[in-house]
Amino acid sequence: MSASPLVTVDAFLLSRDWRDRDAGVEITLWGRTTEHPVRARFTGIESVMFVPRGTEARADRRAERELGTPHGAPVDALYFRAQRHLLDERDRIRALGGVAFESDVKPHERFLMERFVTGSFQLRGRPTLRGNVLTFDNPAIRSADVRVLLSILSLDLETDGFDGPLLSAAIATPDVERVLVIGRDVPDERTLLLELFALIREIDPDVLVGWNVVEFDLVVLQTRAQVHRLDLALGRAGESARVLVRGNVSGVSIARVPGRVVLDGIATLKSATHRFERYTLDHVARELLGRGKRIAHTSDPMAEIRRMHAEDRDALAAYNLEDCRLVLDIFAATDLVSFAMERARLTGLAMDRQGGSVAAFDHLYLPRLHRRGVVAPDVEHEVDMVASPGGHVLDSVPGLYKDVLSFDFRSLYPSIIRTFRIDPLGLYRPGDDPLPGEDGATFARAPEASILPAIIETLHDARSVAMTEGNQALSRAIKIVMNSFYGVLGTPGCRFFDPRLPTSITRRGHAIIERARSFFVAQGLPVIYGDTDSLFVHLEGEPSEEAVQARGRELAGELTRLLANEIRGQLGVESHLELKFESHYLRFLMPTTRGSSRGSKKRYAGLVRDNHAKDGPPTVIIRGLEAVRTDWTPLARRVQRELLRRVFTDEPFAEWLMELSRELHDGALDDELAYVKSLRQTADTGASGSEREEYVVTIRGPEPATDRRSPVDHGHYLEKQIAPACDVILGLLGTSFERVAGTQASLF
């Protein structure tokens, strides 16, 4: 039989795995071309770590390398046919007081990073087509950049209790929807599992999604499959999946489905910095889609699910399927799959890896460090944590203002890293004429003597292109990755941890904010607040909104140029700091700290006109005040927001507040008085959320909102909720809720 032809394919990386074999480490990569799933198997791989030259060590192979420790001592590479043998030898060396370098890098991660493979790879070899899967054995591999569309399938289960057996299972794709209900579509749980697994293999999605899909749905499937002595047969090419339940270092369960990616809705939304008051499927769906779960508002959803299974299985099927649709539509509305793909392209992390900032830093930094002739230390598990200073917060000047301009330094910490060459390698080897850091640190001045500034420059330029092209998923992913570097350098979980690195960043930030304040003050413009990378400046005397905004842009440009000239003159380097004019607040409120005359921090509100809808009504922006805090009642939040709107637009509010007091006393607002407290985790909210219990304060104390037996204590809500929320604003007008609505207050 003739050999298969030599072919070259580009694929997007879906999953990666490794295992020890007799002939060496075996690494398996799954990817997706525009036409086929691809599996590439690499055998006979050696695991490697490094030790200082002269260290007594046992290995399958030892070689001198033109590499050294961060401080210049030469090292040898130790090669092992099994990763477990590497770890045994590492532990033996440590027990004797020796040291190993990069012994904690996993084989498949090293395999990818040393080839600069992040989101995509190129294979060249002689594949076989097995079913629909293009299979390679030991092909040549290199990095690539390929764009593919990944297919997606949403999965949702309904069970008899959180740990009980299955009642139904639903799947949904943009083209296919199926529900399997026991007693309607299938006779028993074993049949349901077999048919569900077969359906997923037939549809063959690249991405499995769900709400808490790993820690609930897949854990349930794994558990129930074990009961029936079935494989969790969800992988491609008939391979079994597995869920590692909460036993890993991060405390988060991990799904391994060969050839597929598993994305949880809650975790991926948070990774993409989407913020919601609650992360239940119902709440997020209503916020994003305008619709929610079919039985969200029942007091006992589990009892209703059991009832539907017993009495109305069509209703259970509809409920189950709608949950699948909601997840699918949430992923579409937020473009989460694209975000996860772009993050993988940038960092080399698996698409389903949540968090992982330290691992992403390693993936980008280590291969570049090796090209500079340096190996990295292992992560130290016993490091004295020395906190670096946080962001610089300026004292605020409380008041109610007109025409306040907000300014932001674009990506301040990444820009500081680029400008002042803050970098682990540059710290280890500063060379001659270094740049000063903090706490005795100095950094290499020459661009080629550092690594991190160049990485950030590449990301910065890519983000500028993404913003120009309207690629929001890529822009968001780049911003998150760039901003993570400061935190990574300041955590003991990073192999390059040194307190001087984050301290050199934050103290530069302090100096820059103070310099910006002095610039504005010299212009006769008071700075009423500043926090980390932003400043709020009071501007008076401009005749129109257009003139105010033009002045804002002019000031931002002047300060950017001033900083560049000063940094060039003092240190001889080019500045990458850029001040942006962010917003024009038509009205702005800076409150006092409750119970004092001092200005508060991280709490303000303002009225802003949307630049894209200049003829529309302005929007009230609120940060940190009661109106956006979930520990305040819905009524207090609504009242504060409406009072802000009225004050900002010069509408009368006294009669409205008095009428509000009457309505509160009469019980007309009782449905807005519930406090919320978090309880145990649930399947719907997952490990990163919790069940919420609502309660109201009655004349006999707190009682459940759904089972209140006593009259509401309306005086409590007036004194503890409405008055404080209003006085944040009214105090700056020289009055108070007591004075405005005192007639009603006396009733209580």
**What is the domain-level CATH number for residue 517?**
3.90.1600.10
Q: Of 108, 143, 178, at which residue does a domain stop? A: 143
Residues 160 and 133 in one domain: no
Residues 104 and 253 in one domain: no
Residue 618 lies in a domain: no
CA 10 – CA 177 distance, rounded (Å): 31
CATH of the domain at 682: 1.10.132.60
Burial of 248 (0-12, 13-18, 19+ CB in 10 A): exposed
Residues 500 and 451 in one domain: yes
H or E stretch covering 174: none
Q: Of 126, 143, 160, at which residue does a domain stop? A: 143
Residues 717 and 580 in one domain: no
Instruction: Convert the pLDDT of each residue in 455-470 to its tens digit.
Output: 999 999 999 999 999 8
Q: Of 311, 334, 357, at which residue does a domain stop? A: 334
Whole-number pLDDT of residue 613: 56
Residue 484 lies in a domain: yes
pLDDT confidence bin for 506, thresholds 50/70/90: very high
Half-sphere exposure of 3 (CA within 13 A, CB side): 5
Q: Quick one: DSSP state of residue 153?
A: E
CA 349 to chain centre: 14
Residues 132 and 157 in one domain: no
Q: What Å distances lie between residue 61 and 15, 58, 77, 82, CA to CA?
A: 30, 8, 8, 12
Residues 491 and 519 in one domain: yes
Whether residue 185 contacts residue 179, with contact meaning beta carbons closer than 8 Å, is answered with yes
Whole-number pLDDT of residue 679: 53
Strand, coil or helix: what is 746? coil
Residue 607 lies in a domain: no
Strand, coil or helix: what is 195? helix
Residues 688 and 541 in one domain: no
Higher pLDDT, 127 or 301: 127
pLDDT confidence bin for 355, thresholds 50/70/90: confident
Residues 164 and 135 in one domain: no
Does the pTM surpass 0.85? The reply is yes
Residues 539 and 641 in one domain: no
Q: What Å distances lie between residue 64 and 72, 106, 746, CA to CA?
A: 14, 22, 86
| Rg for the chain, CA atoms, rounded | 30
Residue 672 lies in a domain: yes
Burial of 714 (0-12, 13-18, 19+ CB in 10 A): buried
Residues 185 and 94 in one domain: no
In degrees, to the nearest 5, what angle opens at C-alpha 445 toward C-alphas 440 and 448? 130
Residues 158 and 110 in one domain: no
Closest CA to 512 of 447, 557, 463, 564: 564
pLDDT confidence bin for 387, thresholds 50/70/90: low
pLDDT at 4 over 90: no
Instruction: Convert the pLDDT of each residue in 621-679 to its tens digit.
Output: 999 999 999 889 999 999 999 999 999 999 999 999 999 999 999 999 999 999 987 65
Residues 175 and 48 in one domain: no
Closest CA to 110 of 376, 363, 345: 363
pLDDT confidence bin for 249, thresholds 50/70/90: very low
Residue 604 lies in a domain: no
Residue 709 lies in a domain: yes
Give mean pLDDT, residues 516-522. Answer: 96
CATH of the domain at 105: 2.40.50.590
pLDDT confidence bin for 747, thresholds 50/70/90: very low
Residue 450 lies in a domain: yes
CA 73 – CA 69 distance, rounded (Å): 5
Residue 199 lies in a domain: yes
CATH of the domain at 175: 3.30.420.10
Higher pLDDT, 92 or 356: 92
Task: Count the domains in the chain.
Answer: 4
Domain that holds residue 717: 627-745
